[in-house]
Homo-oligomer: A and B are copies of this chain.
Amino acid sequence: MVSFAVIGHQAVTDGTFNLNDLPGSGGRMDLLCRCVQASLFLSHGIREEALCYLILAGGPGADKTVRFEGKTVRSLSPDERSSASFIKKAGVIPAGSLYRDVSPGVQVRKGGLGVLLSEQKFGILDESGIDIRQVPLSEIPDAFLLSDHQNFSSEEEEQIRNLPRFSLGPQILHADHAIVLLWNEIDRRRSEWS
């Protein structure tokens, strides 16, 4: 399984955003939707071993996490609006501390970064990290944590300060583009490309 978790610092938790205005009303929900797409989609299929966690941290109320699982997700299309409609549906389900089903392969729970970090060891993307191309396959994490259009907050940096850091290239990229590059590196290593 390969997991990608993305913190949406302004992403609204309660599903009240407008599908016709994902960037504004959703708190850059467009970017989170493209992260789902980059995590799960091949040209003509779904990556069955992919998990994408969206941390909705823009309120109201406590953070929530929406999880998309490649193996079991149904009726998901690659366009932003498709993922967004699932996130909207997740927002109105009464969320507890355990995941609850939104639809096949999509779940929601209360809780954000803290609980996710307690469950899994993530690699962090950071321009000062080690170049991912120089890392042996055995040392490439199977989970990565990314931030949306904002940097990690100082509180988040404190929580992740001991995690390994990787860089992808000389430019600072959108989170969804970073996921594309990470998958490519994993795909190549597994197939012994280069």
Which A residues fall within an 8 A CB radius of B? 19-20, 22-23, 30-31, 34, 37-38, 41-44, 77-82, 131, 133-134, 149, 168-174, 177, 180-181, 183-184, 187-188, 190-191, 193-194
Contact = CB atoms under 8 A, between A and B. Distances in A.
17 contacts: A20-B20, A22-B81, A30-B77, A30-B78, A34-B34, A34-B37, A43-B174, A78-B174, A80-B81, A133-B194, A168-B184, A169-B188, A169-B191, A170-B187, A170-B188, A171-B183, A181-B184
A149 B79 CA distance: 13
B194 A134 contact: yes
A180 B35 CA distance: 13
A42 B170 contact: no
Contacts of A23: 77-79, 82
A171 B193 contact: no
Contacts of A172: 42-44
Contact of A193 (B34, B169, B177, B190): B169
